[in-house]
């Protein structure tokens, strides 16, 4: 490894996600079996805030330990190129899609190498099976170079959306007649609604702030849009499943007390607010809140459908969603590019504060 290569990374205070700082380290020489990837581009969305909020309970902080008490590296999805390798099966110049820290480089220990990619076998990641695979772009059936920006932004979201929609349909919406989706302006929420656009027997109700109401109505993927203030105007007797992307305990309580026994299922699928969703209140009327975890449904479908069929269905869903959000006659998404570590740190702080326009999709390049 060249001795002049340094690692520049953005650290996040675990207890105050809006607080970030930049840290610079010298990179040691690669050891046999290791490779060095230079991070080319990352997408930053409210999904990344969810990873940080669940950092302890779901071990997201464990992916990229900082060695500094109280500080973590927020994971993000993106692309990176191999610039040095002492690992068999991973060559200099190859490009991989995967889970990266908000940093200029990532040092990995490739293991389980195949035509599809590799897993990071670094000691701290051996037990982290979820999001630990790096996909080789040259063999990825859903990769398109021209659509990298959209894939960075939407692929991890559409994974949650597609398999979340599948999970709900697989369980017949738990007997509900309407699906109430909070934080309806978030990309993962309206991605789920998009994936359910052909579902029968279910009414999709988007729950959002008054500020975002016009945007959500303009999407056209919800049968009805209501503001948080109007929630109690919904008929309380209609069998309802709650799909929560907001993570607000106050809103959860409001939903439970309004619908009572008519609430069939409460599914926490993410958090767009700076709350702590793994401390769920359970002393509420109706069903106990349950955390949705996409890899569980993916594993189920891999077993039932097979990897190739899962990949085909997901690929079709991703292409359809990208085509919809990028339609220039009525776009659902505007790409916003940021270049450099300092803009990335500012963007991460703004994300944690919930200050960003839902129409914008933010991409970082180093």
Give the domain ranges of the chain: 6-140+333-365, 157-296
pLDDT of the residue at 275: 41
Per CATH, 6-140+333-365 and 157-296 having the same topology is answered no
Burial classification of residue 310, based on how many CB atoms lie within 10 Å of its CB (0-12 exposed, 13-18 middle, 19 or more buried): buried
- Let me know: does 259 contact 286? Beta carbons within 8 Å: yes
Instruction: Give the confidence band of 280 by pLDDT, cuts at 50, 70, 90.
Output: low
Instruction: Give the confidence band of 134 by pLDDT, cuts at 50, 70, 90.
Output: very high
157-296: CATH class:
alpha beta
Average pLDDT, the chain: 91
**In this model, does residue 278 exceed pLDDT 50?**
no
What are 297's two structure tokens?
Answer: 């449904």
Place of tokens 């926490």: 268
Tell me the average pLDDT across 53-74.
89
- Let me know: does 354 contact 45? Beta carbons within 8 Å: no
Q: Tell me which CATH code domain 6-140+333-365 carries.
A: 3.90.180.10
Tell me the average pLDDT across 192-215.
95
pLDDT digits (tens, 9 = 90+) for 292-351: 888 899 999 999 999 889 989 998 999 999 999 888 888 888 899 999 999 999 999 998
To which H or E segment does residue 190 belong? Answer: helix 187-195
To which H or E segment does residue 107 belong? Answer: strand 105-108
Task: Give the torsion sign (CA, 174, 179, 182, 183).
Answer: positive
Q: Which of 84, 97, 42, 95 is nearest to 336 (CA)?
A: 42
Chain CA centroid to CA 54, Å: 12
């Amino acid at each position: 490894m060249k001795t002049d290569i340094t690692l520049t990374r953005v650290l996040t205070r675990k207890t105050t996600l809006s607080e970030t700082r930049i840290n610079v380290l010298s990179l040691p020489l690669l050891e046999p079996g290791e490779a060095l990837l230079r991070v080319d581009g990352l997408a930053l969305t409210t999904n990344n805030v969810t990873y940080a909020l669940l950092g302890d309970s779901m071990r997201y902080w464990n992916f990229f330990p900082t060695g500094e008490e109280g500080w973590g590296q927020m994971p993000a999805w993106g692309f990176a190129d191999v610039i040095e390798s002492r690992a068999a099966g991973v060559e200099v110049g190859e490009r991989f899609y995967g889970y990266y820290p908000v940093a200029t480089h990532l040092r990995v220990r490739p293991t389980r190498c195949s035509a599809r990619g590799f897993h990071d076998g670094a000691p701290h990641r051996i037990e982290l099976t979820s999001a630990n695979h790096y996909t080789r772009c040259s063999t990825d059936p859903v990769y398109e170079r021209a659509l990298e920006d959209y894939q960075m932004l939407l692929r991890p979201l559409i994974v949650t959306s597609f398999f979340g929609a599948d999970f709900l349909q697989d369980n017949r919406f738990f007997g509900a007649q309407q699906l109430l989706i909070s934080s309806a302006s978030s990309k993962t929420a309206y991605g789920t609604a998009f994936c359910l656009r052909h579902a029968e027997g279910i009414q999709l109700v988007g729950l959002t702030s008054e500020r975002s109401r016009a945007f959500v109505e303009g999407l056209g993927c919800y049968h009805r849009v209501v503001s948080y203030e109007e929630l109690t105007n919904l008929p309380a007797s209609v069998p309802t499943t709650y799909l929560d992307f907001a993570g607000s305990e106050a809103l959860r309580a409001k939903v439970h007390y309004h619908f009572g026994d008519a609430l069939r299922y409460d599914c926490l699928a993410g958090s767009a607010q700076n709350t702590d969703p793994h401390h769920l209140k359970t002393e509420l009327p109706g069903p106990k809140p349950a955390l949705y975890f996409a890899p569980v449904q993916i594993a189920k479908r891999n077993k039932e459908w097979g990897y190739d069929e899962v990949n085909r269905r997901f690929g079709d869903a991703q292409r359809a969603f990208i085509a919809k959000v990028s339609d220039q006659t009525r776009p659902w998404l505007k790409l916003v590019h940021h270049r450099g570590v300092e803009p990335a740190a500012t963007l991460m702080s703004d994300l944690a504060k919930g200050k960003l326009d839902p129409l914008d999709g933010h991409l970082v390049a180093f």
